[in-house]
Amino acid sequence: MARRQRKRGVSVPPGSIRCPTLIVYGEADKQFPTDECRRLALYLAADSLAVPGAGHWGVVYGERFVAEAAPKVDTWLRRVPG
């Protein structure tokens, strides 16, 4: 049921997310292409981090990609006002 709901889409009005937001995506993702991720970041007024060579799941569990992205995410988190 959750998958069917997700596939129908989730509506997020512009400006409704008022906290700092970071979109992390793999440049080799075939499920969510780079252009879609960039448009999402613009739509949400979010920062974005492209992980070169990573596919959709590579960003999550690909050791090489995680090792590359984690310090950048950490830097982003540390500069977010809290």
Identify the pLDDT of residue 27: 95
* Model pLDDT, residue 1: 81
User: How many helices (DSSP H) and strands (DSSP E) are in the chain?
Assistant: 4, 2
pLDDT band at 63 (very low <50, low <70, confident <90, very high): very high
Count how many domains the chain has: 1
What was the pLDDT predicted at 2? 79
The residue range of the domain holding 33 is: 16-79
Render pLDDT for 23-34 as a digit per residue (tens, 0 to 9): 999 999 999 999
- Answer positive or negative: Cα dihedral of 60, 52, 44, 3: negative
8 assigned to some structural domain = no
Q: For residue 7, is it within any domain?
A: no
Does residue 28 lie in a domain region? yes
